[in-house]
Amino acid sequence: MHNQRTQKASTVVSLNNKASHQQGKVWLVGAGPGDADLLTVKAVRAIESADVIFFDQLVSGDIRELFPKQVPAIYVGKVKNCHSVAQSDLNQMLVEHAQRGLNVCRIKGGDPFVFGRGGEELLELRQAGCEAEVIPGITAASGCATSADIPLTHRGVSQGCTLVTGHGEKELNLNWQALAGLNHTLVFYMGVTRAGLISQQLTNAGLSAKTPAAIIENGCRDNQRVITTELGTLSDAVSEHNVKSPALIMVGDVVNLAQQLNVIESQLKDASHYQSLSA
Ligand code: SAH
């Protein structure tokens, strides 16, 4: 599933050619939503100068291709309900590798500080006396929205945008009344399995079932799918199209703008087609 250089999470990286009494540094790197061209220059530099890389499930194959061949790359991703490495063990591994003098690149999907547990890792690293720095990445909301031609905000349509997690142990502990009353774009991460609940709670709280909604699956990747629907039919759309993670749910009038933009784009294409025919 992951490239062959990937090592088991329990692997202790050999210090053969890197014995040092100095501490290494840990970079918590945001990899963005999947397109390698969306990595920041700083992220690429951190990848290239790493002695060891720990990566998540959301780090796409295209980005893993950029990992230097000689550098051990250790998979520490999580599959739903099945954590391959417990967060506390992972934090400990990062600390231990840095204490052994290695430069550690801990790379994760999107932005480490947006539903990415980057704050917890940074806290543990700093508490353990490690030098650690976060490199921001393009978060899924921003990457998927641009890739689907849906502006997160738009003058006269949506004055703001709220990022919400659909993940919760049992119930989602959200203030639905407040979310419904914002009258602006709502973006749900990890919400696919809760699409029915999201739809029901928001409509119960007063948001129209006719509010435009979109589901963006595998945003910014070759296999991206954009499904447009309405809040009231969100759950049906998820089942009908068999939507799988990673997918993002956007709710708000901005979703309609994608259609307008597409219409204009195809009109422009038609116009240039006719021009080339008549030239
Ligand atoms: N730190 C990440 C979010 C991690 S939570 C970020 O800033 O983007 C994981 C959730 O992010 C997924 O369940 C999905 O809702 C969303 N996500 C991440 N990458 C995505 C992608 N390429 N396409 C669609 N959704 C994505």
Domains of the chain by residue range? 6-138, 141-261
- Tokens representing 35 are 């397109």
Quickly state the pLDDT bin for 2 (edges 50, 70, 90): very low
Segment 161-189 shows an average pLDDT of 92
Pocket flag, ligand 1, residue 245 (CB < 6 Å)? yes
Contacts of 14 (CB under 8 A, 6+ apart): none
pLDDT band for 11, please (50, 70, 90 cuts): very low
- Count of helix runs (H) and strand runs (E) in the chain: 9, 13
Tell me whether residue 67 is exposed, middle or buried, using C-beta atoms within 10 angstroms of its C-beta: 0 to 12, 13 to 18, 19 or more: buried
CATH placement of domain 141-261: 3.30.950.10
Cα 263 to middle of ligand 1, angstroms: 28
Closest by CA to 8, choosing from 83, 63, 73, 96, is 73
pLDDT > 70: percent of the chain? 87
Q: What pTM was estimated for this model as a whole?
A: 0.88
Would you say the CB of residue 144 lies under 6 angstroms from ligand 1?
yes
Q: Average the pLDDT over each of 79-88, 101-110, 245-254 and give the range with the smallest value.
A: 79-88
Give, in words, the CATH class of 6-138: alpha beta
Contact 137, 112 (CB under 8 A): yes
Q: Would you call 78 a catalytic residue per the annotation?
A: yes
Atom of ligand 1 nearest to the CA of 190: 13
In this structure, is the dihedral angle defined by the CA atoms of residues 68, 73, 78 and 82, taken in order, positive or negative?
positive
Interaxial angle between packed helices 87-99 and 118-127, expressed in degrees from 0 to 180 and rounded to the nearest 10: 50
